[in-house]
Amino acid sequence: MTDSLMRLHISTGDPDEAHQWLSDAYADHRVTLSGRSTAFRFTHSVADCGLLKVGVARHTMTLHGTWEPLDDIMLFSHLLTGRFTIRSPHDEVAAGPGDVFGYDPDTLMQVEWNDIKMAQVRIQRSAMERLAAEMLGDDRGSVPVGFDLARPVTAAKAVHWKRLMQYVTTDVATSPGVHGSPLVMRHVQRLVVATALATFPNSTLTGTPVPAGYASPDAVRRAVEFIEEHAGSDIDLTAVAEAAHVGPRALQRAFRRTLDITPLGYLRSVRLDRAHAELRTADPGAGATVSGIAGRWGFGHPGRFAADYRARFGRSPSETLRN
């Protein structure tokens, strides 16, 4: 519908492009894919409801991988088709069609799936913590909230959650009268947050405190030094956080606070600078190529590399190499 909030954000047959998009939208990850790559299809539609987003994704291959902590995202999934297994250091969910579950945003996750279609609700963590404070009558203005990797606390609450999601994806996402009203949308946001807090195991139900997480400027400095020194190596957020002697979530927030960028965003920026420097001095007559240099610095998708390069340096990487 033209009056629907639901928009197709990506449709591709390129696995690299699909997983770069997933990294940007959710969290960095490393995966191994199997199945018919020639028939691969990935689509992701999203309805933007302000503080929350409702999406439907389809991924046709079999995947095994490791995903970094979601950090500032609260995520809840409803598996529509396929098989999906996810493990954290403490919990595991093996889901089939119709199952719903929530994620622990603070842990590394091992994921396996096979030809899935999945609906997801994504909520900004800061927004959920603000709304949780309002609902709980907490005067601090924000209550740290931590979720477990788990199914709903009861089967009845799982049914209620699915009915609420059906309402959001139909009545809310497709009705101009609903999504055109800030007051109504605010009510929907509060309803979704309140239902999530009542449905999925979390710290507001158990009374378990969640550490807010803090990383000092020295931790950011250590992380920057580690990234600068190891930009050419296969490193991830966990490795950077370990080098900085803090947790991934604390480091993410410290980077945003001090540098207005994520640690992995900073890593990509450093690698782009290194690729630029190499392109300026490389000799195409001796066999140097843009794809070879880009790949050496971790840029596996030529089109995306070229677009990022042009946005940063005002010219194409091939122009830099030729001149």
Contact (CB, 8 A) for 48 and 5:
yes
C-alpha 167/C-alpha 161 separation (Å) is 10
Q: What is the pLDDT of residue 182?
A: 82
Contact (CB, 8 A) for 151 and 101:
yes
Tokens (6 digits) for 166: 């059906």
Tokens (6 digits) for 266: 């900073």
- Please write the tens of the pLDDT for every residue from 162-193: 999 988 887 787 777 777 778 778 888 899 99
Give pTM, 2 decimals. Answer: 0.73
User: 73 phi and psi, to 5 degrees?
Assistant: -120, 130
Tokens (6 digits) for 140: 């601090």
Work out the pLDDT band at 285, boundaries 50, 70, 90.
confident
Q: What is the pLDDT of residue 17?
A: 92
Q: What mean pLDDT is predicted for residues 40-54?
A: 90
The closest alpha carbon to 103, from 132, 136, 79, belongs to 79
The closest alpha carbon to 196, from 144, 161, 149, 163, belongs to 161
Q: What is the pLDDT of residue 211?
A: 58
**Average per-residue pLDDT for the chain:** 88
Q: Is the pLDDT of residue 137 over 80?
A: no
Work out the pLDDT band at 299, boundaries 50, 70, 90.
confident
Cβ neighbors of 80 (< 8 A, separation 6 or more) are 56, 97, 98, 116, 117, 118, 119
Q: Is the pLDDT of residue 116 over 90?
A: yes
Q: Is the pLDDT of residue 216 over 90?
A: no
